[in-house]
């Protein structure tokens, strides 16, 4: 019996001493000490040893097992040190190597233009306000003098949530919301997302608008003209001409559409301006006194102007972009140009 242990010990020592790699040491560890290893088997079969010999046998078995364990650990350590030294010698960290270049993001062209427009108007003392995108029919239409039968309410253009709740179709919805909670004088811009059930080269279902309005005693059409002229000259350059054309909006009276001289061909005529030399850029007008009534302002004391513009439209003209859908395709080749 004890001879048996001695034989295993000799064999194990021989094998361990011959080991030439960490892998072999690990294999031997499994062979001798693993769950199904030789020593584990021996310990499990201790019960078969006659009672009187069991104690002595167990002691020697344990001693031998510990010896083998220590021997394996010794070899394991020396192989590990060897491998570590090898790695340290062959793999040096070059602290002078250039780092990885993490690609920088870009501010989206819509945001860039929006930021620029906002900074122009804040420099003219306009405050920035916001309103909800999911809006009451009241603020989007009714309070702006667009009653139930107005064509702008056509189901084709408006996303209805319920009969009384819509996705706002324009930022004009912010006008009465602000007037209700603020007494004049007011100078406000309200940028944000708007929604229309429409999609082609020039239309997308969600786009950005910026609404502007000013209310005080004695606000005149010439104030509107002055403010818009400053704005257009700052955003498109001082040589840009403005043209006011009579138009109609239910919430302004009189109403105008404002054109600028074509920023692409400088008014000579090109396909962007359809050879007219002019580009339509804004809707505007003097706030209809009915809106003041809706907001609880005294219509005989106050006057005001309002205007609204599409941000993507301005960005397209500023950067010469010919397809509005490019703004929302998230194509990096497009976005990286800004």
The structure tokens listed for 137 are 């029919």
Q: How far is the CB of 338 from ligand DAH (least distance, A)?
A: 25
Q: Is the dihedral of CA 310, 312, 313, 315 positive or negative?
A: positive
Q: Name the residue among 205, 164, 208 with its Cα closest to residue 190.
A: 208
Interatomic CA distance for residues 102 and 338, integer angstroms: 18
Interatomic CA distance for residues 235 and 229, integer angstroms: 10
Give one DSSP letter per residue of 64-112, joined into a string. Answer: HHHHHHHHHHHHHHHHHHHHHHHHHHH----TTSPPP-PPPP---HHHH
| Sheet strands (E) in 62-185 | 127-128, 134-136, 165-167
Nearer to ligand DAH, 158 or 252 (CB): 252
Nearer to ligand DAH, 75 or 207 (CB): 207
What SS3 state is found at 224?
helix
Nearer to ligand DAH, 249 or 278 (CB): 249
Q: How far is the CB of 135 from ligand DAH (least distance, A)?
A: 13
Nearer to ligand DAH, 28 or 314 (CB): 314
Q: How far is the CB of 96 from ligand DAH (least distance, A)?
A: 58
165 has which bridge partners?
136
Q: How far is the CB of 136 from ligand DAH (least distance, A)?
A: 16
Q: How far is the CB of 179 from ligand DAH (least distance, A)?
A: 13
Nearer to ligand DAH, 37 or 132 (CB): 132
The structure tokens listed for 297 are 């302002």
Nearer to ligand DAH, 140 or 261 (CB): 140
- Please report, as ranges, the residues that interact with ligand DAH according to CB under 6 A: 170, 172, 211, 249, 252, 283-285, 306-308
Residues 6+ apart with CB under 8 A from 62: none
CA angle 64, 67, 70 (to 5 degrees): 150
Cis before 254? omega within 30: yes
Nearer to ligand DAH, 79 or 249 (CB): 249
The structure tokens listed for 253 are 């009276």
Q: How far is the CB of 172 from ligand DAH (least distance, A)?
A: 4
Q: How far is the CB of 328 from ligand DAH (least distance, A)?
A: 19
Nearer to ligand DAH, 28 or 194 (CB): 194
Interatomic CA distance for residues 102 and 197, integer angstroms: 39
Interatomic CA distance for residues 130 and 216, integer angstroms: 20
Interatomic CA distance for residues 161 and 174, integer angstroms: 18
What SS3 state is found at 259?
strand
Q: How far is the CB of 283 from ligand DAH (least distance, A)?
A: 3
């Amino acid at each position: 019996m004890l001879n048996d242990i001695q034989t295993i010990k000799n064999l194990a020592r021989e094998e361990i001493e011959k080991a030439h790699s960490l892998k072999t040491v690990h294999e031997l560890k499994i062979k001798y000490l693993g769950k199904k290893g030789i020593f584990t088997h021996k310990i499990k079969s201790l019960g078969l040893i006659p009672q009187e010999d069991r104690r002595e046998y167990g002691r020697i078995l344990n001693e031998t097992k510990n010896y083998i364990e220590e021997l394996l650990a010794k070899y394991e350590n020396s192989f590990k040190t060897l491998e570590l030294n090898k790695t340290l010698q062959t793999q040096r960290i070059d602290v002078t190597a250039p780092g990885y270049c993490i690609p920088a993001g870009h501010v989206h062209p819509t945001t860039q233009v929006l930021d620029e427009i906002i900074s122009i108007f804040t420099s003219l003392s306009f405050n920035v306000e916001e309103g909800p995108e999911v809006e009451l029919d009241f603020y989007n239409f009714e309070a702006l003098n667009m009653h139930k039968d107005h064509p702008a309410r056509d189901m084709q253009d408006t996303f209805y949530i319920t009969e009384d709740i819509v996705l706002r179709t324009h930022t004009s919805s912010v006008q009465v919301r602000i007037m209700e909670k603020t007494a004049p004088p007011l100078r406000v811009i309200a940028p944000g997302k708007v929604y229309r059930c429409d999609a082609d080269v020039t239309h997308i279902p969600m786009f950005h608008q910026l609404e502007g309005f000013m209310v005080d005693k004695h606000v005149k059409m010439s104030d509107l003209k002055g403010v818009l002229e400053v704005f257009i000259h700052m955003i498109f350059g001082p040589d840009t001409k403005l043209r006011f054309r009579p138009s109609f909006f239910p919430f302004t009276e009189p109403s105008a559409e404002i054109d600028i001289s074509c920023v692409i061909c400088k008014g000579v005529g090109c396909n962007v301006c359809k050879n007219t030399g002019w580009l339509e850029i804004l809707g505007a007008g003097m706030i209809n006194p009915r809106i003041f009534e809706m907001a609880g302002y005294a219509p005989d004391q106050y006057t005001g102007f309002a205007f609204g513009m599409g941000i993507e439209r301005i960005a397209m003209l500023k950067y010469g972009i010919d397809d509005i859908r490019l703004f929302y395709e998230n194509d990096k080749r497009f976005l990286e140009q800004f």
